[in-house]
Structure 1
């Protein structure tokens, strides 16, 4: 089954984020199991199936070729092979972590918006992004809103603010006008005034750069795309989601054609 974890390895190779010293890349072959409707990898990716030449220097190779090239099997030679594979194992661990961390902070104008905000948090979790929920009103307590905002500035952690406020949205513009971090408006829609309330999120004063995304899941995806510029794990999960969407569309197209015949 295709998962973000299996896809992340190829993404890292493609972007040369960590293994930028690969001179030879093992090819990945895959296909679609039409019975189970799954994407299946048809190859093995491990320390035995690649060539590692740090800085492109073949004399520094760390892969199994060092063992193949041994003229004599001695304890010293085996220690060298062991050190090489320990070096490789340390680098492989980097595939599971990211130097660039980030977080999404969702500020809601009222606790009544909690269900809407929980959807954003759940979607952030799918991308591996920590998400915090806070309650504050830019209209009723602007000083407290700016104080909460300041909690997430200055600690070096990249942050995206999501403002959830219906009716007259002052939360997003106030945040955007007082921080250099990205701000996403994600107003909850209501049956009575939803269409009219959206304009308070769309019509921003000059000098403000906050965007507006109506779907809570799409707001989380937008934040993930921002973090994905510098975080290879999030980037990989975004790519796998794109691939899964493409597969779903392809399956729907095939099914429709079969029904039409």
Structure 2
């Protein structure tokens, strides 16, 4: 099955990036996870991005905070889809990360999820891969039903116990 690269600039991003990996595992998608700083080790980063296609990556999920250049630089080098996850930051609440990732120049798009949106990044990667994988598409449809069932169960509990006991 196609692989996804998951890359983050710091281990402090791990709690968010883990959610992307968890979703990929749920759908049975193989991935590789790395910590690479685009600013502190640019040679390592360039090697990663240049060889991602050779490693059979079909999508890269890149998380970054503050200056958040990792997703955009991946998109500048890697010819297939890149999904950026802006990290929440203490200084500007993640808006700095969001703007840095989403405001890419024409010709270098990065699909961007919400601040700390690790799970959605994993789901979006799965949806991209599902365009050519009917079994994966079925897993995504089943997951959507699971989400619906969760809401129905929560409402049933609310109706049973009332909001004060919920």
Q: Please classify the TM superposition score into its range, dividing by the shorter chain length.
A: 0.7 to 0.9
Partner residue, 2:108 = 208
Q: Which residue does the alignment assign to 1:140?
A: 40
CA-CA distance at 1:180 after TM superposition:
1.2
| Cα deviations by residue, 1:5-35 (Å, 9 ceiling, x for unpaired) | xxxxxxxxxxxxxxxxxxxxxxxxxxxxxxx
Match of 2:92 in 1: 193
Consecutive unaligned residues in structure 1, runs of 5 or more = 1-100
1:176 matched to 2:75? The reply is yes
1:257 deviation in Å? 4.5
State how far apart, in whole Å, the 2-side matches of 1:196 and 1:154 are.
Answer: 34
Aligned to 1:80: none
TM-score by length of 1: 0.56
Q: Structure 1 residue 213: deviation in Å?
A: 1.0
CA distance in 1, matches of 2:94, 2:68: 13
Distance 1:250 1:172, change over 3 A: same
What is the number of residues matched between the two proteins?
Answer: 159
Give the one of 102, 126, 131 matched to 1:224.
126
Task: Summarize the alignment of residues 1-261 of structure 1 with structure 2, pairs less than 5 Å apart.
Answer: 101-155=1-55, 157-197=56-96, 198-214=98-114, 215-257=117-159
* Greater than 6 Å deviation, 4+ residue runs: none
TM-score, normalised by the number of residues in structure 2: 0.84
Whether the 8 Å CA contact 2:6–2:32 is kept in 1: the answer is yes
Task: Point out the structure with the larger strand share.
Answer: 2
Q: CA deviation at 1:187?
A: 2.1
Calculate the aligned-residue CA RMSD, in Å: 2.0
For residues 6 and 32 of structure 2, what CA distance do their matches in structure 1 show? 6
Larger radius of gyration: 1
How far is the alpha carbon of 1:176 from its aligned partner? 0.7
Distance 1:256 1:240, change over 3 A: same
With a CA cutoff of 8 Å and minimum separation of 6, indicate the structure with the bigger relative contact order.
2
* Cα distance in 2 between the residues matched to 1:125 and 1:144: 26
CA distance in 2 between counterparts of 1:151 and 1:234 reads 25
Which is further off, 190-199 or 104-113? 190-199
User: What is the DSSP-based 3-state SS (H/G/I as helix, E as strand, rest coil) of the residue aligned with 1:148?
Assistant: helix
Please, which runs of 5 or more residues in structure 2 have no aligned partner?
A: none
